Structure 1
Amino acid sequence: MIHISHATSEQLPEIMAIDAATNSSAWSLAWWQSVLQSDLDTVLVAQNKQGAILAFIVWQTIVDEMELHLIATATEYRQQGIAQMLMQEMFQAASTANIVRIMLEVRASNHAAQNLYRKLGFSATTVRQKYYRDGEDAVLMEKII
């Protein structure tokens, strides 16, 4: 059984461990703290019945748009539908908030994530050349609600 809830500052060590293990540009503690305190940002975690954090999602809402900033699943829990569950929570929040568009950027090499996003109704709109620190391109995707 997976439980999804809003993240707390006490969960930051577990969240940051997943971020560091899955993200070559992991966020700093200061960045995570600011996101948790922001009225514009939402951070959700997916936990197992023992309370361990398996995955997280971060998005920002501004007026009638959302931008997915980060989503990650601990390596040993991938391919189990947890990221999709978190995305569905974001879509529910978008519906409640009358959001008209959700945007995201994804590494050009991250085909698994791009496939998930397409499955969930996103389409590629453009490419940002050398967007990431290591020079990799970002594919911009959006979903019109």
Structure 2
Amino acid sequence: MIILNKIAFFKDEEFLRAVRDTMGKERMSLAKRREKPIKGIIWKKSLRKINFISINFKDYHVKDITDLALFKNVETIILTYMGDNEEDIGIYEEENILDNLYLVKKLKNLRRVQLYHLKINNDVKADCPNARVFID
């Protein structure tokens, strides 16, 4: 039972896929995709080392961002919906994708939240009172 407490379980399978594909030592970023995805167990202590998260919803069709709460020491979160070129821009209209963003209030080190081309339907700045919020 003690071991289960140390394992990171993800609610959203696409979020888990993004973690497996992009997680490095301190960053989880699409700019540095892994050659081979992480296999097996992802430990909570590994997620605590991450200070930068970037997810492009064009690549990963995340429907629930509740799993952001697993990254206790993250400083920057970038959530975007963008294609490979600048003309390939749309709006990610997944219903209520940012509804659980309020969970990041508990992240003590969060300083910056950037949201690009997402359907915003709540007060993001109120959800992230200690962070600078950028919306485009």
> Per the shorter chain, which TM-score range?
0.3 to 0.5
Structure with more of its chain in helix, by fraction:
1
Structure with more of its chain in strand, by fraction:
1
Kindly indicate whether structure 1 or structure 2 has the higher relative contact order, using CA contacts under 8 Å at least 6 residues apart: 2
